[in-house]
Structure 1
Amino acid sequence: MRALLDRYDDRFTVAEIGDHSSLDELISYVNGPDRLHTAYSFVFIENSDLSAKLIRDALEAWQDTEQSAWPSWAFSNHDAPRVASRWGAQSKDGAQAETDPRFAAMLNSLLCCLRGTAFVYQGQELGLPQAHVPFEHLRDPEAIANWPDTLGRDGARTPMPWDTSSPQCGFSTAQPWLPIDPRHAQLAANTQYNDPNSPFSQMKGFFARPQKPPGLDPWNHPVF
């Protein structure tokens, strides 16, 4: 497969190795120039507690790989509660951290400073918390069956809030599949564009920087 892909420009393969596969197995798919380009890791998504040990263990697994072994990291996706709520609820500030732009900025900084490709789930760049979806509006069978004991998946699948002055926050003129959380409307993209301290502006700055900032060697750094 890699030999075929290398015949074309600008091709990039991402392996999704699920079913609780070990990091060693995940790395085996990308460790070498004849393997896939990267592999999507669930190590952070599957953990409800953020800790130094979690980060260290994830990074150490890649320390002895070839330079061509390129990891990918994600903190949120459509099957997990949004990271601002999942990890914010475990912080000393509890629910307040969910909507604190400083907490969102810290999470985005961490994601973008890890060696590898950052997968940013829609709304993470805005610091969106898990949406509150009333029971009568739930769509996900798992969320309905486990309500109210778990956060469910619907809260991570609500419409992207673009513009507070438009119907449905600019997502659609029609009634969306899931409702928009009022807290998301307050964090809509148009409210953050011109704020240099917003999570959106910070994330935009990260992606505008060189891939390898001066003085930072992603292949040669100790993990403490």
Structure 2
Amino acid sequence: MIYQVYPRSFCDTSGDGIGDIRGIINKLDYIVELGVDAVWVSPFFKSPMKDFGYDISDYRDVDPIFGSLSDFDELIDQAKQRNLKVMIDQVLSHTSDQHDWFVESSESRSNAKADWYVWADPKADGSAPNNWISIFGGSAWEWHAGRGQYYLHNFLKSQPDLNFHCAELRQQILQELEFWLKRGVDGFRLDAINFCYHDQSLRDNPFKPREQRTGRGFSPDNPYAAQYHHFDNTQIENLSFLESVRDLLNQYPGTVALGEINSEDSLKTLSEYTEGGKRLHMGYNFELLADEFSVDHIKTTVNSLEAVIGEGWPCWAVSNHDVTRVVTRWGNGKLNQEFAKMTLALAASLRGTLCVYQGEELGFTEAPIQRDQLKDPFGIEFWPEFKGRDGCRTPIAWDESEPNAGFSQGSAWLPVAPDHAQNNVSVQIDDPGSVLNFYKSFLSWRSEQTTLIKGDICFIDAPDNLLVIKRSHDQQTTIACFNLSDQPIIWQPQKLDQELVLGTYKFGEKTSLENNIVQFAPYGFAYFA
């Protein structure tokens, strides 16, 4: 299991209101006590922070707001002492426009790095080379007067896309990865990994009808959703590059690569990217990071992936730094501890690796952010239809008696949400029924369940709003049942000869089994083995 740390909002030790690497070091025992195997650290590299670290200006240095390389080395050392693996974010598809590579590339069409980025001439009428759209709004092309060409940016215009069709650039990227492998990292989370290559012919993307603009984390009103993105990402050439990444990782035994995949058919792409043990070790997509929450959606997502993935390996997440927190997104916006417990158990019962985003273990809701508090360029561009990602990025609340609930002695870069402060870590540690203590006990129990870790997966028919998962391994079976509704559910299976081994509580009442009839409390769940 992987725990995602968003450094800006985890723990600040310098007093500048921004979390730092030393803050992660200071909280390593907290992370280890959750029962996770690895920690994924979101970008901490040198950056102008126009996209908060996902616009890298130096792949080999730590931004001063987060600390120094020596701080990072200490993080690796302290984690290894605790038998905790460290994965770091790598943003390979693009850099900051302040990266030395782009500065040189933009100077002329004949310099040593002229082909390291995606440059193209304008059409005869001076307009952009094609109809590709940026995720952050507007054309994906930006005019550069000095070079007399457009450059591609799938994200912000300050995030120019690297040209992976250039062999020299590919080799340099592998060297950037190896720099961190030599420093002792255990793996990489590869951001937007299917965006590395573009169609060299620069063909226009076809129009997408409104009724098909679903999933992928984009509102149908976002212009990006109005195209089939057949040519600006997820090109066949990327498979060969991923094999070269795997070859590099194979030289450092025990290291892994997790890819973020958001394509037109993310499940198919995930299967291709993890195929045959020769590319990524695992991948995750946005299917369970979308707004839809239903038995049918979960079953369809898992069954569709299982039908194509073969020996590949998925990673499941229901929250991260890019989407509304799951308790709000799926739970009707209400603080509900039982719902938070159920969603963890559900995600942990799917076949694959589980990734938990900081604050999920505390049951945090999406924080309310006012327009004048916005930091996220995505939210600033599309307000008020889309309020951005700041609401899931607010600081962790450690102790309500301290300034900023223990996150920082200074003015926090985003405000600590009031209900987060009330449900802070120190309060939950002392509450046996808290979400935090449930996480610890549940993950400890799960670590001993071979069926949940290695077993095959299928679904059993059940009443509406009841998701029933069957996991099997070496003639052992576990049946996991989840009430996705806020109403009690009674279920009488045709045959139930397994013992109830774990249940959840609601108002002091345990999910019960009597005369082969199971009664689930609202958001209740149970395991039979």
Please give the range of the TM-score, normalised by the shorter of the 2 chains: 0.7 to 0.9
RMSD between superposed Cα atoms in Å: 2.1
Partner of 2:458: helix, strand, or coil? coil
Q: Deviations over 1:60-82 (max 9, x none)?
A: 13334434x11001111222111
The amino acid of 1:27's aligned partner reads: S
> Structure 1: which 5+ runs fail to align?
90-94
Residues 11 and 107 of structure 1: is their aligned pair in 2 closer, same or farther, counting only changes over 3 Å?
Answer: same
Name the structure 2 match of 1:138: 374
| Matched residue, 1:92 | none
One-letter amino acid matched to 1:80:
V
The one-letter amino acid paired with 1:220 is: D
Q: Which residue of 2 aligns with 1:157?
A: 393
Partners of 1:109 and 1:85 in 2: how far apart?
17
Structure 1 partner of 2:412? 176
Tell me the equivalent position of 1:78.
321
What residue ranges of structure 2 are gaps of 5+ in the alignment?
A: 1-244, 461-529
Using a 3 Å threshold, how does the CA distance of structure 1 residues 51 and 146 change in structure 2: closer, same or farther?
A: same
- Mapped pair 1:57 → 2:293: no
Sequence identity (%):
38
- The residue correspondences of 1:1-224 to structure 2 (distance < 5 A) are 1-45=245-289, 47-64=290-307, 65-67=309-311, 69-89=312-332, 95=333, 98-209=334-445, 211=447, 213-214=449-450, 216=452, 218-224=454-460
Q: Deviations over 1:28-86 (max 9, x none)?
A: 111212221000221111x212011111122113334434x110011112221111111
After TM superposition, give the deviation of residue 183 of structure 1 in Å.
0.7
The answer to whether the Cα contact below 8 Å between 1:112 and 1:206 also exists between their aligned partners in 2 is no
**Displacement, 1:148?**
4.1
Amino acid in structure 2 at the alignment position of 1:160: I
Distance, in Å, in 2 between the alignment partners of 1:77 and 1:104 is 15
CA distance in 1, matches of 2:306, 2:270: 14
**Pair 20,167 (structure 1): closer, same or farther in 2 beyond 3 Å:** farther
Q: Shift of residue 180 of structure 1?
A: 1.0
Report the structure, 1 or 2, having the larger strand content: 2
Distance 2:299 2:395 in 1: 34
Matched AA of 2:433 = N
Q: CA deviation at 1:167?
A: 0.9
Q: Please give the alpha-carbon distance, in whole angstroms, between the structure 2 residues aligned to 1:163 and 1:127.
A: 16
Aligned partners of 2:305, 2:298: CA distance in 1, in Å? 12
Q: Is the 8 A contact 2:351 2:456 kept in 1?
A: no
**SS in structure 1 at match of 2:277:** coil
> What amino acid maps onto 2:294 in structure 1?
S
Check whether the contact 1:71–1:117 (CA below 8 A) recurs between aligned residues: yes
Distance 2:335 2:251 in 1: 46
Q: CA deviation at 1:151?
A: 4.2
> How far, CA to CA, are the matches of 1:28 and 1:157 in structure 2?
31
The one-letter amino acid of 1:36's match is L
TM-score scaled by length of structure 1:
0.86
So what's the TM-score if we normalise by structure 2?
Answer: 0.38
Question: Shift in Å at residue 221 of structure 1?
Answer: 3.0
Equivalent-residue separation in structure 2 for 1:2 and 1:142 (angstroms): 32
Pairwise CA distance, 1:129? 0.4
Higher relative contact order (CA 8 A, sep 6+): 1
Distance 1:66 1:103 in 2: 32
Could you tell me which amino acid in structure 2 is paired with residue 86 of structure 1? R
Q: Which runs of 4+ in 1 moved over 3 A?
A: 64-67, 144-151, 209-212, 214-219
Q: Deviations over 1:8-29 (max 9, x none)?
A: 2320111122244431121111
Displacement of 1:112: 1.3
SS at match of 2:283: strand
Between the aligned partners of 1:207 and 1:5, the Cα distance in structure 2 is 28
> Going by fraction, where is helix more abundant, 1 or 2?
1
